[in-house]
A and B are shown apart, each in its own frame.
Chain A
């Protein structure tokens, strides 16, 4: 059974702090790596889809990197804001239609 690990499980930061968290996955079963943001009372929304080793994607203050050889991805948030408070999910896509394996998420709380 494929296992996707996310760390830390939760994170509390002050507004303005920069932060990062990790997604680890088995490098032998890689097709794509997804990051989703799930705000309370809303639907999870896709942030990034990463497919190539060395990929780096950016959306505003949020960026992500990918290392498929060692099986990890980092998500960075620069200058965290209260509206960044959410659970961040990563998911490994193994290439078949139903095969999207989610990690348990990192819950980020940003205090004003």
Chain B
């Protein structure tokens, strides 16, 4: 019954490494999102995509990039991981239009950068 799947629940990486976080949804949703969640800060939007090969910056895009080559897959890339990118990363997807953009979330990926 899993609808949004994130590739890794827990990752430990070293400073400077390139990190890929993968997200796949099976609901044919147009929109996909990457958030990070930090204690006391709530969910903050990193990037989103409303169509294949389209991407838009969210509130905190610095240090991240994304890729959406297929409708069902949205990847978050940390080109050179830093310790301040240690966080919980959540992927989400939604339909456009009716439904007021209700999000379906993945289970999250907890990234630790040493």
Which A residues fall within an 8 A CB radius of B?
A: 31-32, 34, 36, 42-46, 49, 51, 89, 91, 93, 97-98, 100, 102-105
Decide yes or no: A89 and B42 within 8 Å by CB, A34-B100, A43-B4, A49-B100 being known contacts.
yes
Decide yes or no: A103 and B100 within 8 Å by CB, A43-B108, A97-B31 being known contacts.
no
A89 lies within 8 A of B101 (CB) = no
Q: A98 is contacted by which of B48, B90, B102 (Cβ under 8 Å)? A: B48
A-B contact count (CB 8 A): 58
**27 CB < 8 A contacts A-B:** A32-B101, A34-B103, A36-B105, A42-B107, A43-B104, A43-B105, A43-B107, A43-B108, A44-B103, A44-B105, A45-B105, A46-B102, A46-B103, A49-B99, A89-B43, A91-B43, A93-B101, A97-B48, A97-B96, A98-B33, A98-B58, A100-B45, A100-B103, A102-B35, A102-B42, A103-B42, A104-B40
Chain B residues within 8 Å of A93, by CB: 100-101
Chain B residues within 8 Å of A98, by CB: 31, 33, 45, 48, 50, 56, 58
Chain B residues within 8 Å of A105, by CB: 42
A97 lies within 8 A of B43 (CB) = no
Q: A43 is contacted by which of B41, B43, B96, B106 (Cβ under 8 Å)? A: B106
Bound form: Cα–Cα A72–B107 in Å: 29
Looking across the interface, which residue of chain B has its beta carbon closest to that of A103?
B42
Chain B residues within 8 Å of A100, by CB: 33, 45, 101, 103
Bound form: Cα–Cα A66–B104 in Å: 22
Chain B 72-114, CB-CB to A under 8 Å as 1, else 0, gives 0000000000000000001000001001111111111000000
Bound form: Cα–Cα A68–B52 in Å: 35
11 other A-B residue contacts (CB within 8 Å) besides A36-B105, A98-B50, A102-B35: A32-B100, A43-B106, A43-B108, A44-B103, A49-B102, A89-B42, A93-B101, A97-B96, A98-B45, A103-B42, A104-B41
